[in-house]
Structure 1
Amino acid sequence: MDSGPDEAAASSGASGPELRGVDLARRALEEARAAAKASGKAVGQGRASPRKGGVRALRRRGWSGARPDERDPQLLSAVAGALAKSRGWNGKVAEGMVFGRWSTVVGEDIATHATPISLTDGVLSIQAESTAWATQLRMLQAQLLAKINAAVGQGVVKTLKISGPAAPSWRKGARHVKGLGPRDTYG
């Protein structure tokens, strides 16, 4: 025999029309509440009781107000600067800025013809691409030093050591004999 939807509803013990959607969810919630109450559990709508203290309690918990404070999102540069300052890294960060922002510190024209090599104890070593550029940079040394100090901070770079291109080395390998090298056999 075929059993229709009416017979299935009658056999499951449901009375009335078949429930769907929101009505079915309400009935399931009512049944769950009744089962919880029967087993001795607390039954409620979610929160046990309203919070006391009003707006002040919420502020103490962590809400920020209308004005900026330390809990608001911060710029990465500000956070990194504060971290470097708290750890005592300001000197190293300033030294890194000399190398990282070289073209903006001294200008594009000088940056294309001169490269910073090292910064040791406040002495910045710069290598120019030609002897003419090295001579020009030595004449502009005071202005360069002022630009660098304005960009990265006073006292990071105290003096400049400007050199021209390196001459080729005749020394090959880890060991060599003192003397003039290959030129001593020509004459």
Structure 2
Amino acid sequence: MADRPGAERGRPAGAQGAEPGSDAARVALNRARAAALARGARPAARPGRAQGGAGAGGGAVARRGGAPAASGAGPDARDPQTVSGSIDRLVAERGWQAPVAVGGVIGRWDQVVGADVAAHCTPETYADGVLTVRADSTAWATQVRLLAPAVLRRLGEELGEGVVDRLVVRGPAAPTWRSGPRSAADGRGPRDTYG
């Protein structure tokens, strides 16, 4: 631009016939910008550009309120999040740590209590620190009741103390003689059949 006659720095080549006050205004604007930069003020985003992008100087552009926009190669809250991170955050926000931990132990029940006990005893429910398990025979129900302190100690090691306070062992479900749509409503059993 300097090789053309009349071309000045910061002035377009076709603006030779511009009004004489425009040079003074441009010089005053440049001085004001230089003074603002010397004070440490950051340039705001130009109208028409999206706020929060990088400016011409490559730095962060100030948002409304003066907080600089986050930019860079590091992850931040605006980036896509991993599924495990989102689930961990949801569990923590809802206070589901204990039920989720118990669910994990129930999924590994045979590793926690041993293959023999797990073959004859399965967990059913967990609520308010009480784990209910069902044995497949009355003999195994009695055996698991005797092993309850050891099972609670093992659950304490896996989950932390106080998550499971009590272990309720139920035997097998009693047989029912109700069958069909026309069974007796009062639950009559076999009466003297086994007498």
Range into which the TM-score falls when normalised by the shorter chain = 0.5 to 0.7
Aligned residue for 1:62? 71
Which of these residues, 177, 182, 185, is aligned with residue 175 of structure 1?
Answer: 185
Do the aligned partners of residues 104 and 125 (structure 1) sit closer, same or farther apart at CA in structure 2, a change above 3 Å counting? same
Which amino acid in 2 is paired with 1:175? Answer: A
Aligned residue for 1:108? 115
Report the TM-score, using the length of structure 2 for normalisation.
0.52
Which of these residues, 120, 126, 151, is aligned with residue 119 of structure 1?
Answer: 126
Number of residue pairs matched by the alignment: 134
Matches within 5 A, 1:16-165: 51-54=55-58, 61-65=70-74, 76-165=83-172
SS at match of 1:63: coil
The 8 Å contact of residues 178 and 187 in structure 2, kept in 1 or not, is answered as no
Q: After superposition, give the CA deviation of every residue in 1:131-187 in whole Å (9 maximum; x if it has no partner).
A: 332222222211211222332343332101112222312345471256xx3233677
Q: After superposition, give the CA deviation of every residue in 1:6-34 in whole Å (9 maximum; x if it has no partner).
A: xxxxxxxxxxxxxxxxxxxxxxxxxxxxx
- Measured after TM superposition, the shift of residue 121 of structure 1 is 2.4
SS at match of 1:86: helix
In the alignment, the residues of structure 1 paired with residue 177 and residue 140 of structure 2 have an alpha-carbon distance, to the nearest angstrom, of 25
**TM-align CA RMSD:** 3.5
- In structure 2, stretches of 5+ residues that fail to align are 1-53, 62-67
Do the aligned partners of residues 174 and 147 (structure 1) sit closer, same or farther apart at CA in structure 2, a change above 3 Å counting? farther
Which amino acid in 2 is paired with 1:183? Answer: R
Give percent identity, aligned residues only: 48
Between 1:81-90 and 1:91-100, the stretch displaced more is 91-100
Q: Which has the higher helix share?
A: 1
Aligned residue for 2:39? none
Q: After superposition, give the CA deviation of every residue in 1:85-122 in whole Å (9 maximum; x if it has no partner).
A: 01223243234334333233323332222111222322
Higher RCO (CA-CA < 8 Å; seq separation 6+): 1
The 8 Å contact of residues 115 and 128 in structure 1, kept in 2 or not, is answered as yes
SS at match of 2:123: strand
